Amino acid sequence: MRSKSFRVGIGSVLFAAAMGSAAFAGPDPKDIDITVVYHDTGIEFAQVIKAGALAAGKELGINVEFVGPIGIKVDEEVAFIENAITKKVEGLAISNVNGEALNPVIDKAMAANIPVVTFNSEAPGSKRLAFFGQDLVSSGKAAAESLVKTMGTDGSVLIITGEAAASWSQDRENGARTELAKYPGISVVNTISTGWEEQAQYAAIENAIRANPDLKGIISLDAATTPATGRALQRVERATKIHHVGFDLIPETLDNVKAGVTDAALSQNPYMQGYLPVKALFDLITTGKAIENVDTGILQVDQSNIDEYLEKLKKGEPIG
């Protein structure tokens, strides 16, 4: 293993940032290792984040490793972070799906002089330096606004999520419920937490749809339950009767938007959620430049622009 003799404490880096980048001389880029830890590397959405992170590494001439469990397995994610701390990487970018488990290990990395940022899913209460991702409450509100535009201002609505207890899910759900509460004619009948095993997830969604024959709208809160909801709507032959809004632009979801099964899908720019944390850590490590939060925004894909995004997908552009 090569020497890490160039390492300086995070306190020194932050002091240099306060004094201005000219006060800091960082390591050679080829000696910089940054580890990006995502909570489920097995889904298509993760590959777009990975593409952004690796592109930043290539551009900057540094070593970037994209790791994480296949399927959401919190203990395994903690183990990946612990391994990066043991390796004494120069920076860590972490997607947090469980603050109780991950915040302590994030703080451990910071205490070990490893600067940490979070991306995609925030770590409130941790000592991380900054967050790169969507304002999740705002995105929940945007999803509800989109649903109301297609569904109208009355009817029963179902909220579907892979993990209702996760902080990202709670934020989106709170945003959606706040927006829907503006309309007395709309009632949220339930929130269905499906888990992440594919067949069980699909079964939970189909069963929920069948159990609510008067259902008029569905909001799916994540990249996994959105296409699964589209599949279920088609299987029970209610795609023309139930309006559906979901998240992220994986291929199946785009196909469902094109077919009119899903009215709209909201993107959070996952490519930049991979690229920007790596770039920010590099700037901090090499120049002492302070890191600030970045909102990666909300992009809606619907019938008005679906052909544009299907063409981007065909060309291999990193959308998600």
**Given phi > 0 = left and psi -120 to 50 = alpha, else beta, which region is 276?**
alpha
Q: Considering only CA atoms, which of 24, 13, 37, 2 is closest in space to residue 114?
A: 13
Average pLDDT over the chain, rounded to an integer = 92
Per-residue pLDDT for 2 more than 90?
no
Q: Which two tokens stand for residue 235?
A: 């299987």
Q: Considering only CA atoms, which of 266, 258, 156 is closest in space to residue 209?
A: 156
pLDDT at 134: 95
Task: Categorize the per-residue pLDDT at 10 as very low, low, confident or very high, splitting at 50, 70 and 90.
Answer: low
Q: What is the DSSP letter of 289?
A: P
In the numeric block, the tokens 């490793």 are attached to 65
pLDDT by residue (tens digit) across 149-198? 999 999 999 999 999 988 889 999 999 999 999 999 999 999 999 998 99
Q: CB 290: neighbour CB atoms within 10 A?
A: 16
pLDDT by residue (tens digit) across 292-315? 999 999 999 999 999 999 999 999
Give 111's contacts (C-beta < 8 A, 6+ positions apart): none
pLDDT by residue (tens digit) across 65-118? 999 999 889 999 999 999 999 999 999 999 988 878 899 999 999 999 999 999
What is the distance between the alpha carbons of residues 302 and 316, in angstroms, rounded to a whole number?
20
**Which residue segments constitute the domains of the chain, with CATH numbers given?**
10-134+269-289 (3.40.50.2300), 136-267+302-314 (3.40.50.2300)
pTM (2 decimals)? 0.86
Per-residue pLDDT for 28 more than 90?
no
195 phi and psi angles, rounded to 5 deg: 75, -175
pLDDT by residue (tens digit) across 205-231? 999 999 999 999 999 999 999 999 999
